[in-house]
Chains A and B, each alone.
Chain A
Amino acid sequence: MTENLGVPTWQERIGGRWAISIQSYAIGAVLNIAILALTGGQIGADEVHTKDIGAWALVGIAAALIVGAYALAADASIFKYRRERAVPAWLAITFHLGVGLIFGLVIVVAGDHWIEPSTQDPVVRVACICLIGLWWGLTSSLVLEARDRFNGQREALIERAVDLELATISETETAMRLRSAIAQEAGPALDGTRRQVNHVLDGFASQTQALLPVEEWWKISQSLRTTADSAIRPLSHHLWEATERQYPRPRLDRVLTRLFLYQRFAVMPTMAILAIGYLPAGVFRFGGFGGFLATALMTLGAGLLLLVANLAMGSTRRLHALVFIAALIATQLYECGYLAALSWRTGDSLSPGPEIAGGMIAVGVSVLLPAAYSSLNSIRSEILERFRLDTDDARIRQLANARQLAHVTRQAARDLHGSVQTRLISCAVAIEQASRSGDIAQFRHALETSIAILDSPLPDHADDPSASIREEVHRMCAPWEGLCSFTWEIEPELGQIRGPLAIAAGRIVEEAVANACRHGLAESVRIQVRRIDGPAISFRIDDDGAGPSGGQPGLGTAMLAGISRGQVELSARPEGGSRLCVILPID
């Protein structure tokens, strides 16, 4: 399954499902508004005055709203079918540049008119913001797409593992506990009626007590009808719990732990982002050439720092998280130093607090985001490999158990609903009929049946672990006799095997026979069970039905593939009908 997912093209990564997303927009808008309010001097005005923070924040919000409207329009038009077919990369790039252009224009126009006219070249400012828009759009598309792909691969791995585990485990202690918990809770709901019915039955038994008058029989039938509905109530919260246990919510702390414990910095993307972000400030203070030079030096310094941190993380695995955090702080301090040096060199009367805070947010994002992207992107080679090891035993068993719990709950629902509820209603009907004709024998029969239901509402459905392969194969074919005739060829020593292999064999035959009779409308089925090299058991099921193209592809084929680890082949027989071959490994 993992192998079939394939590696997406760049067009799919940039122009696919995640080309536009509400998460990317919301995070981008909040960060940009914060940075704009705190560092208007870098992308908005020449200097930031504390009194202008509110005004810049308002301009940021207005710009974000206009960008939002633009994104909504794009979502409904050019990106409408991106989930099915990725849009060309150039279109996605143009869209992200457009986001930067709108944001930049609003800032430049609104800032110059309402807050403070800037001496910077408006074209350079808008161009820089366009580049920031492009960077944010592409990075967030890549990160979100990688996250999505990772989740898909992870699920496929888990499922395959769980399928295999499920085919071999017998009922666990937890499943037995859940079954008895439901039975115990269903009990009290039935108690009142049980006492009432027992009382009447005692009257029959002792013959000393006066028999209940026929008019009173109706009351018992009514309380059976009420009990029928209340019997199923305790199931509700067990059902809820079992399903929730199976689908735990993803935890942010685990994502962060993974980032801090295993990931290194992405040096080149971080340097590119820092260069784009700081270029306008440099150009403003030192002019064209000086600005480029100062920005390049600052970027190189930051890159060097991250490179050293990466080397340190590579050499000391145990101190990974410590080095990661230290390098993050060092980069922030370095950036503060750079901003302070800029102010000192040009003698600006900056408000260093807000500007440095804004700069720190920008640096934090530019260092962490590429690292997160790299973290997700190294999944194929590193994380999935580690995940395979992590999930080998305990985790897989846990998931198989969860699936088994879902099965137990479902079975209990079926029992309480199908057996208890409807049977109690039919007891009520029987009593009502008996009361009309005054038939004491039927009244008593109905009472005895209802007490049997009330005493043990949940029958035991566990697979019989002592059955042999031969017995399981025959047991699965028996219900279909009359609709279909069967012939079996089972190697004698294979037929004697008991335990998980026999249960798996039973499931294979059950699924195959149901498909052949129900969808293929077969009238005769021949089952061969042989030992082959591997070692493995080969099942060949031939039928005279409509053939593989005649019926719909059996939904059970996926289950068969799970049990046999993918070795399933369904083909047409030359003489008509279909042939299903399944290989079940013995290990």
Chain B
Amino acid sequence: MHALVVDDDDFLRFMLVRTLHDLGCESVDDSPTAAAGLRLATARKPDLAVLDLDLGRGPTGIDVAYGLRKAHPDVAIVILSSYSDPRLLGANRELPEGGVYLSKREVGDVSVLQNAIAEVLAAPCGRRTGAPVANISGRRLSDNQVEIMRLVAEGFSNSEIARRRHLTDAAVEKAIARLIKQLALSPGREDNARVLITQAYFALIGSTQVRRD
């Protein structure tokens, strides 16, 4: 079996190549960029591609996966990411059919990667539940909610979010109110709803704990 690894971090890539060899891959190509990774795939068709979601500027791992699938429709895809939900990165594109999405934290346990690889190789384009979705107390956050959270965290005001999302100011205001309700955050006199949403966003991507003091 031939595998391809695309990750912009040298050490993580080295680790993934080593782990894939240990898991029984005969040959593994690796690349720090999307462009070089796609060139490698053109030269030698991979059976399995392990792709980092956040490759810095330019295409995401999901974009690369679509590019690979165009040339090799039956390549098995595993996407790795620090984000628990790809929408939190703003990569608002569905995973390609049959792709599996793994959190990098989980890969600390090699058996998780092993199981994922076995799953995608068994049926590279099989139907799967798709990427994990951010949820609060079991309630799924909608695409619109995730995007509004992300934009609030990126420092945009209501009107600016409204322009970007092609919504009215009132609709954004309502969406933020609903988010606050769903996140079970109650802005007190001293709190700012936006600060709470930003905190919740960073808590969801795993960067901080929600500060409640």
Binding site for B on A (CB under 8 A): 1, 17, 83, 152, 155-156, 158-159, 225, 232-233, 235-237, 239-240, 243-244, 246-247, 249, 402-403, 406-407, 410, 413-414, 416-419, 421-423, 425-430, 433, 442, 445-446, 449, 476, 478-483, 510, 514, 517-518, 521, 553, 555, 558
- Residue B157 lies at the interface, judged by CB distance under 8 Å to chain A: yes
**New A-B pairs, 5, CB < 8 Å, besides A233-B208, A410-B153, A553-B166:** A155-B159, A240-B199, A421-B82, A423-B9, A480-B59
Task: List chain A residues, Cβ under 8 A from B15.
Answer: 426, 429-430
Residues A1 and B163 in contact, CB atoms below 8 Å apart: yes
Residues A232 and B207 in contact, CB atoms below 8 Å apart: yes
Assembly CA distance A517 to B33 (angstroms)? 16
Q: B35-43, B119-127, B131-139, B178-186: which one contacts chain A?
A: B35-43
Most buried by B among A232, A480, A510: A480
Residues A483 and B157 in contact, CB atoms below 8 Å apart: no
Task: List chain A residues, Cβ under 8 A from B63.
Answer: 483, 517-518
Residues 99 to 145 of chain B near chain A (Cβ within 8 Å): 104-105, 107-108, 110
CB distance from B86 to the nearest CB of A (A): 13
- Residue B154 lies at the interface, judged by CB distance under 8 Å to chain A: yes
Query: Which one of A83, A428, A446 lies within 8 Å of B108 (CB-CB)?
Result: A428
Assembly CA distance A402 to B156 (angstroms)? 11
Residues B192 and A433 in contact, CB atoms below 8 Å apart: no
- Considering the complex, give the chain B residue whose CB is closest to the CB of A449: B11
Q: Please, how many residues of chain B have a CB less than 8 angstroms from a CB on the other chain?
A: 58
- Residue B64 lies at the interface, judged by CB distance under 8 Å to chain A: yes
- Residue B58 lies at the interface, judged by CB distance under 8 Å to chain A: yes
Residues B35 and A480 in contact, CB atoms below 8 Å apart: yes
Assembly CA distance A429 to B113 (angstroms)? 12
Given contacts A155-B159, A422-B82, A518-B93, contact A236 B209 (CB under 8 A): yes
- Residue B55 lies at the interface, judged by CB distance under 8 Å to chain A: yes
Query: Which one of B33, B93, B192 lies within 8 Å of A244 (CB-CB)?
Result: B192
Assembly CA distance A446 to B110 (angstroms)? 16
Task: List chain B residues, Cβ under 8 A from A236.
Answer: 199, 202, 208-209, 211
Residues A240 and B207 in contact, CB atoms below 8 Å apart: no
Secondary structure dominating the interface of A: helix
Assembly CA distance A518 to B63 (angstroms)? 7
Given contacts A417-B207, A422-B82, A479-B34, contact A406 B154 (CB under 8 A): yes
Task: List chain B residues, Cβ under 8 A from A410.
Answer: 153-155
Query: Which one of A83, A237, A421, A429 lies within 8 Å of B211 (CB-CB)?
Result: A237
- Residue B29 lies at the interface, judged by CB distance under 8 Å to chain A: no
Given contacts A243-B198, A246-B155, contact A517 B170 (CB under 8 A): no
Scan B29-59; emit 1 where CB is below 8 A from any A CB, else 0. 0000111111100000000000000111111
Residues B209 and A518 in contact, CB atoms below 8 Å apart: no
- Could you give 11 example pairs across A and B, Cβ below 8 Å? A158-B157, A236-B199, A243-B155, A413-B202, A418-B54, A423-B9, A423-B11, A427-B11, A445-B14, A482-B38, A555-B164
Most buried by A among B9, B93, B211: B9
Query: Which one of B54, B57, B159 lies within 8 Å of A152 (CB-CB)?
Result: B159
Task: List chain B residues, Cβ under 8 A from A421.
Answer: 82, 105, 206
Task: List chain A residues, Cβ under 8 A from B19.
Answer: 433
Given contacts A152-B169, A430-B15, contact A1 B39 (CB under 8 A): no
- Residue B67 lies at the interface, judged by CB distance under 8 Å to chain A: yes
Assembly CA distance A558 to B159 (angstroms)? 11
Query: Which one of A239, A425, A553 lies within 8 Å of B208 (CB-CB)?
Result: A239
Assembly CA distance A399 to B153 (angstroms)? 16
Residues A425 and B105 in contact, CB atoms below 8 Å apart: yes
Residues B164 and A517 in contact, CB atoms below 8 Å apart: no
CB distance from A409 to the nearest CB of B (A): 9
CB distance from B175 to the nearest CB of A (A): 13
Assembly CA distance A17 to B171 (angstroms)? 13
Assembly CA distance A433 to B17 (angstroms)? 13
Task: List chain A residues, Cβ under 8 A from B174.
Answer: 83
Assembly CA distance A377 to B157 (angstroms)? 24
Residues A417 and B205 in contact, CB atoms below 8 Å apart: yes
Residues A425 and B108 in contact, CB atoms below 8 Å apart: yes
Residues B159 and A159 in contact, CB atoms below 8 Å apart: yes
CB distance from A416 to the nearest CB of B (A): 7
Query: Which one of A225, A449, A558 lies within 8 Å of B160 (CB-CB)?
Result: A558
Assembly CA distance A268 to B36 (angstroms)? 76
CB distance from B111 to the nearest CB of A (A): 12
Task: List chain B residues, Cβ under 8 A from A419.
Answer: 9
Assembly CA distance A10 to B168 (angstroms)? 20
- Considering the complex, give the chain B residue whose CB is closest to the CB of A478: B35
Given contacts A236-B211, A425-B105, contact A417 B82 (CB under 8 A): yes
- Residue B72 lies at the interface, judged by CB distance under 8 Å to chain A: no
Task: List chain B residues, Cβ under 8 A from A247.
Answer: 192, 194-195
Task: List chain A residues, Cβ under 8 A from B209.
Answer: 233, 236
CB distance from A563 to the nearest CB of B (A): 14
Task: List chain A residues, Cβ under 8 A from B165.
Answer: 555
